Amino acid sequence: CFCLQMGWDLMAAQGMLFPNFYTANPLCSPSRAALLTGRLPVRNGFYTTNAHARNAYTPQEIVGGISPDEILLPQLLKKKDYVSKIIGKWHLGHRTQYLPLKHGFDEWFGSPNCHFGPYNNSVCPNIPVYNNSEMKGRYYEEFEINVKTGIQPHPNLFEGLDFISQQAVAQRPFFLYWAPDATHAPVYASKCFLGKSQRGRYGDAMMELDDSIGQILAHLVSLGIHNNTLVFFTSDNGAAVMYGPLQSGSNGPFLCGKETTFEGGMREPAIAWWPGRIPAGTVSYQLGSGMDLFSTSLSVAGIHPPDDRVIDGLDLSPVLFNNSLLDRPIFYYRGNQMMAVRIGQYKAHYWTWSNSWEEFNKGINFCPGQEVPGVTTHTQEEHTMQPLIFHLGQDPGERYPISVESKEYRDVLRQVTAVVEQHQTDLIPGMPQLNMCDLAVMSPPGCEQLGKCLKPPEPNPWKCDWPHYLVSYP
Amino acid sequence: CFCLQMGWDLMAAQGMLFPNFYTANPLCSPSRAALLTGRLPVRNGFYTTNAHARNAYTPQEIVGGISPDEILLPQLLKKKDYVSKIIGKWHLGHRTQYLPLKHGFDEWFGSPNCHFGPYNNSVCPNIPVYNNSEMKGRYYEEFEINVKTGIQPHPNLFEGLDFISQQAVAQRPFFLYWAPDATHAPVYASKCFLGKSQRGRYGDAMMELDDSIGQILAHLVSLGIHNNTLVFFTSDNGAAVMYGPLQSGSNGPFLCGKETTFEGGMREPAIAWWPGRIPAGTVSYQLGSGMDLFSTSLSVAGIHPPDDRVIDGLDLSPVLFNNSLLDRPIFYYRGNQMMAVRIGQYKAHYWTWSNSWEEFNKGINFCPGQEVPGVTTHTQEEHTMQPLIFHLGQDPGERYPISVESKEYRDVLRQVTAVVEQHQTDLIPGMPQLNMCDLAVMSPPGCEQLGKCLKPPEPNPWKCDWPHYLVSYP
């Protein structure tokens, strides 16, 4: 094994680090839909109205997917002849009409969902893996994943490097959306990295990811296109901390993790790299969002964003190239509910919730080892009349609500109220796409080619109930 | 203001980072006594037997201090003609016989205690500040500290730089123990840094400390002695987290903070720097201790450690210069009780305690926002028959005790038991120096010169009761 193991450090040393960067949602599917549309899930439809403040995503039984009315980044990039590829997890719907090649991508190697499993394929099929529109097999079958022996080769790094090479040689502009999911439970790493970190299997997967970042950057340099390429690293949600020690990440000083609107659920690592354009070794305190990648990419490519809809993403070019600071709020949504908002250093919680007592008592814990009374509540608590306000600079762990009797509280509340009222007045929610489930949709397009179709049951749709699952991994 | 603000990053980039480095004790005085003697507090006497597992230190009413039987690093360095200076907080006793110049230091600028205060000096005098044996004034009086306006100049950085210059010019070998305490509550920063960080006043103080580190390194380089100087940065305990948002630090992913034997109380940042000798940009997973600085410094200076006593410090030279890994345990003591031990990645808790319910109910919280049932206990819980064992790699937050029924547990327990039995068999506790308090000792030597003595009360010693104080800061 040849391991660089210095992707992130190198990227930060040569680029710009964003300690105040957020995902648009604390769960994968809505976060990714927002990344590619530049719009909050509540606008682009990646949410459910089946229950209040309930995250939804695209499991195998989901009927919906990304709406045909949404315009995705690769569709817009075509205006300037960009070739677009997604490698890895898609997660915007797995039925024919929702797949990446129907939404602007020219190429795809990966799967519509995570590598959950292995499943008993007589009842629930394993997740398919595609090369473009061709189904090449399934995880745990043709695409082996063995979390104990780690013999799964690293997810698609080489397809990524190869794609970059091809475009460089052809001198074509390109967009690579590299979306590995090895750090998603069940976490795995290739043999080369398994057992190599100090941090168990999760650390092994992180080490491999770090190495891959380094390889991608080195590849760009070796092709001589580094001065012409914007690379951005970030994540689609905070580390999951509910899977026990082997499968959970860590959100460091932040509260809770994935699924929640506390900082641990939505604050993300983020680094931008573009040698010669972005000043090396810099730190920007800009409040950023994954949705900004949509707007920034368009700006860099010289393409106007759509003007017939609200775009939540911000063009970060002035930040990247001139170290400007742009004033903007960050909204924290959980499903259909705006739970919190951040302006400047202040975050106001309008609703708090970790998960229900019922789920918590079954052992599902979104905040293991952490508890802030009145904040990490197990009932959905409304604070709209008197939001809980934290100063995230002085109190990154959201442990000390600012006294409602202080001048500081009143001043912040006044500012926050104006921002929230504006947001809610202007907001026209999109049609929710994640309300219906049906076991009949679990057999994906393409299985015929492989002779691996499973006879689907008769259609029998129901309103998805979106439980927070207790998943037990080795 | 001219601010480099890149001390630690630069130091790590040019040196060796230790993510598994510990202090010998979760409280200041014992930790510093251990640093300078290379011996656990339970050996060098910096503990109390007045109560079980109770941390003790050297407040103004303490009768004791560092024992004359202990041999401190600067005393030994004299064998090779080193000049030694301490700048900042001493904390090994404030009566005449305990002061730094009586224990091997040639120079001192600083105070015997922290900058607690301001005090009403008719009852409790403010802490004195010395230049060598001369008392120059007191904090909050001649040495102004104003945590709101930050007009206190940075603690003694320039004395440090000046001392280095003098020794470089004279070509004398030197030992500088630079012990600033601006990050100790009440936290302060100089005007240049106040309000400059994203992290409140604590962040301002950290930013200034970072800047100072950078200035010291730059100074060594400018004097041309960087290839001849070992610099080590570490802390005497984990960040205090009990003082509310403005005065508390953060221990990131680690559990609890100062005063406790959880990782947040004793795992420390640590960087070694010696251009040309220590390989740049390296990370060592060596289990290290502040006490190792004693042994390593002697080794580097070519001086044999005392052979008439147990030295707990390890000579880290093979680690620093050859990236070796040395097998050794880390013992976590709280007062007179070994609470836990770490071997390799495993930590076994023999006793757990945060603080008493009585104190906790008064608002004294050593683990705010954190709670691990059965681990962060508010009663002193003995686990000596069946220690709680954690894998600190997979579980740095000490949240998931390894099942006592697993083979892993049995294997680790066997190893840990052997180490602990050996330790306890060999251990001869030193005479406890921190048992007696007396208000009559609060007036320090040197006040006469300034005409600032306060009439001390008649001697009336009592057994110190070592409460965990609730201190309220603005």
Residue spans per domain, chain B: 8-327, 337-426
Residue B146: pLDDT band (50, 70, 90) is confident
Calpha distance B182→A81 (Å, rounded): 57
Chain A residues touching residue B253 (CB < 8 angstroms):
250-253
Task: Kindly determine whether residue B368 and residue A399, on different chains, have CB atoms separated by under 8 Å.
Answer: yes
CA distance readout (Å), A105 to A108, A220, B301, B360: 7, 21, 64, 57
Query: pLDDT digit string (tens) for A144-171?
Result: 888 788 776 655 889 999 999 999 999 9
Task: Kindly determine whether residue A399 and residue B197, on different chains, have CB atoms separated by under 8 Å.
Answer: no
Statement: B337-426 belongs to CATH 2.40.50.1070: no
* pLDDT computed for residue B198 by the predictor: 87
* pLDDT computed for residue B451 by the predictor: 80
Average model confidence (pLDDT) across chain B: 94
DSSP B136: E
* pLDDT computed for residue A469 by the predictor: 72
CA distance B109 to chain A (A): 31
Q: At which residue do the structure tokens 């000579």 appear?
A: B315
Please state the CATH superfamily assignment of the domain spanning residues B8-327 in this structure: Alkaline Phosphatase, subunit A (3.40.720.10)
* pLDDT computed for residue A452 by the predictor: 78
- The parts of chain A modelled with pLDDT lower than 70 are 1-5, 152-155, 470-474
Number of CB pairs, chain A paired with chain B, less than 8 A apart? 83
Burial B444-465, CB ≥16 within 10 A → b, else e: bbbbeeeebeeeeeeeeeeebe
**Site from A283, A345, A352, A395 to mutate, B interface, most B CB atoms within 10 angstroms:** A395
Has residue B474 got a pLDDT over 60? no
Instruction: Tell me how long chain B is.
Output: 474
Task: Kindly determine whether residue A396 and residue B199, on different chains, have CB atoms separated by under 8 Å.
Answer: yes
**CB-closest option in A246, A391, A400 to B394:** A246
* pLDDT computed for residue A442 by the predictor: 87
* pLDDT computed for residue B471 by the predictor: 64
Residue B1: pLDDT band (50, 70, 90) is low
Calpha distance A245→B399 (Å, rounded): 8
Query: Region B217-239: what's the mean pLDDT?
Result: 97
Query: pLDDT digit string (tens) for B310-334?
Result: 999 999 999 999 999 999 999 999 9
Residue B153: pLDDT band (50, 70, 90) is low
**Site from B21, B247, B366, B395 to mutate, A interface, most A CB atoms within 10 angstroms:** B395
Task: Kindly determine whether residue B200 and residue A396, on different chains, have CB atoms separated by under 8 Å.
Answer: no
DSSP A441: G
Which tokens belong to B259? Answer: 């005063």
The interface predicted TM-score (ipTM) is 0.88
Active site residue B91: yes
CB atoms within 10 A of CB A172: 11
Task: Kindly determine whether residue B391 and residue A252, on different chains, have CB atoms separated by under 8 Å.
Answer: no
* pLDDT computed for residue A68 by the predictor: 97
Task: Kindly determine whether residue A245 and residue B372, on different chains, have CB atoms separated by under 8 Å.
Answer: no
Calpha distance A203→A208 (Å, rounded): 9
User: What is the end-to-end Cα distance of chain B in Å, rounded?
Assistant: 26
* pLDDT computed for residue B297 by the predictor: 98
Q: Can you say how many angstroms the Cα of residue A416 is from the centroid of all Cα atoms in its chain? A: 26
Q: Please report how many Cα atoms fall inside a 13 Å half-sphere around the Cα of residue A95, on the Cβ side.
A: 17
Q: Can you say how many angstroms the Cα of residue B57 is from the centroid of all Cα atoms in its chain? A: 11
Q: Do domains B8-327 and B337-426 have the same CATH topology?
A: no
Has residue B470 got a pLDDT over 70? no
CA distance readout (Å), A472 to A65, A117, A358: 27, 11, 18
**CB-closest option in A203, A252, A394 to B252:** A252
Query: Region B403-431: what's the mean pLDDT?
Result: 97
* pLDDT computed for residue B280 by the predictor: 96
**Site from B3, B8, B198, B473 to mutate, A interface, most A CB atoms within 10 angstroms:** B198
Cβ proximity of B433 and B67 under 8 Å? yes
**DSSP-based three-state secondary structure for A309:** coil
